[in-house]
Amino acid sequence: MHPTAAAPPPSPQKPFYAILWVQVVVAIVLAVALGYFSPAKAMAMKPLGDAFIRLITMVITLVIFCTVVSGIAGMQDMKKVGRVGGKALLYFEVVSTLALFIGLLVGNLVRPGAGFNANPATLDAGAVSAYAGQAKAQTVTEFLMHIIPTTVVNAFATGDILEVLLVSILFGLALSAIGPRCKPLLSVFDALAHAVFGVVNLLMKFAPIGAFGAIAFTVGKYGLASIGPLLKVIATFYITSILFVLIVLGAIARAAGFRILKFLAYIKEEILIVIGVNASEPALPSLMAKLESLGCSKSLVGLVVPAGYTFNTDGSSLYMTLAALFVAQATNTPLTLLQQLTILAVATLTSKGASGVQGASFIALVATLTVVPTIPVAGMALLLGIDRFMSTARGLVNVIGNGVATLVVARWEGEFDRKSLQRILG
């Protein structure tokens, strides 16, 4: 008999100052202090945040492509691909539409713009014109056509997640259909996926620097005092976002067999990264890795998370209807029930793709308001100065919502049981 192999020694625990989330928290605190006491120097830190976001986004398309291709091609049952996609899209549409409705309901109940009495003629319409030029309310046909890239290379060059996802699914299905002849190529994709995640792990070490640069710039340029006149709408949106996560997503999580607070603690590093760099995309690769560690299959994570970044934008949905009502109320523009329902209906399309990158939701909101001509688009200038503060909450809800959605779909697919998930999260 062979002697029993000795168990490997446990890896030494990191000192607290070497833990990523601790470093990000310290960086955020230092950035706020610098922005408050030395705004000019703080604004000069902007390239640090921009550089980190660009470093992460440059590998996101490779992460999605390799994960989805190797996952789908490795599946024996092709029906599962369609089943998972169908369940995910159904979940996305129901929850994001619910978020739009909640934003509309809160806007009517709280009325954050009431008493603002802004005169559209005195607002800086030119500041909004740059966004208005990019804004366009898409029809269903235009949206579907946008999913298809002009070339395969163009999908990766532009970094459009949905286009990359389409190309990845087609490649994965093709490799699966061809079978053993493509096994060497599949091994290459699998090895490339490991290498790309290695690059992501390396880049994440710079997250504290990126968070420091982004937060310092925001506080230095806009100042904490700038939110004073608009504190009501900011507080309304943040409180609504928190309650949406704790109550709506919390109820969904409990039905799926886990507690939302334990899940939030599990992805605390991703949450802090979104807060620090003010964008949700940099959290995508590490979120996918953590969801796989919870027991979700690579193929399911590769399908649901990237698609969710386009179709499951709960934070952006909350913001769009609430912000639309704020602009109408602040400019004393009465809206009928039909007009409000029109805004909700249009926002179900324009909110898609507003995944948390700063400016995307603002452009989508301008596109939504164009369908109700009585609302002065110049009123959007009221929100322009605080959009960077609002985008943090949008990105947080988007990331948390996509994590919950992935676990729910994985639970529906029977990829883990309630006890194993609770044990890992615990």
Confirm whether 82 is domain-assigned: yes
pTM of the model: 0.79
Q: How many domains does the chain have?
A: 1
HSE-up of residue 349 (Cα within 13 Å, Cβ side): 20
Confirm whether 9 is domain-assigned: no
Indicate if the pLDDT at residue 342 is higher than 70. yes
Confirm whether 234 is domain-assigned: yes
Tell me what the mean pLDDT of segment 119-133 comes to: 57
Query: For residues 246-279, b (16+ Cβ closer than 10 Å) or e, as one string?
Result: eebbbebbeebbbebeebbebbebbbbbbbbbbb
Per-residue model confidence (pLDDT) at position 349: 74
Confirm whether 173 is domain-assigned: yes
Per-residue model confidence (pLDDT) at position 248: 96
User: Which is higher by pLDDT, 293 or 370?
Assistant: 293
Instruction: Name the residue range of residue 274's domain.
Output: 19-425
**CATH number of the domain to which 254 belongs:** 1.10.3860.10
Tell me the C-alpha distance between 243 and 231, whole Å. 18
Q: Rounded to 5, what percent of the chain is helix, strand, coil?
A: 80, 0, 20
Confirm whether 124 is domain-assigned: yes
- Please give the structure tokens belonging to residue 197: 């995640």
Task: State which of 66-70, 107-111, 276-280 shows the largest mean pLDDT.
Answer: 107-111
Indicate if the pLDDT at residue 359 is higher than 70. no
Residue given tokens 């949406």 in the structure block: 244
Confidence of residue 140 (pLDDT cuts 50, 70, 90): low
Residues constituting the chain: 426
Tell me what the mean pLDDT of segment 283-288 comes to: 85
Q: Encode pLDDT of 46-92 as tens digits.
A: 888 888 888 887 888 888 888 778 777 766 566 777 788 889 889 99
